[in-house]
Amino acid sequence: MPLDQYEEDDEKETGPAKRFFEFDCPVCNANNPYGDGFEVGDEVRCCYCGCEFSVRVTEEGKFKLKEI
Residue 6 reports pLDDT greater than 70: no
Question: The CATH number of 16-67 is which of 1.20.120, 2.70.70, 1.10.287, 2.20.28?
Answer: 2.20.28
HSE toward the beta carbon, residue 54, CA cutoff 13 A: 4
Number of other residues whose CB lies within 10 A of the CB of residue 49: 12
Average pLDDT of the chain, as a whole number: 79
Query: To 10 degrees, the CA torsion angle through 36, 44, 65, 10?
Result: 40
Side chain identity, residue 16:
P
Higher pLDDT, 66 or 11: 66
DSSP codes of every residue in 43-56: EEE-TTT--EEEEE
Task: Note the pTM of the prediction, 2 decimals.
Answer: 0.67
Q: What's the pLDDT tens digit per position in 32-56?
A: 998 889 988 999 999 999 999 999 9
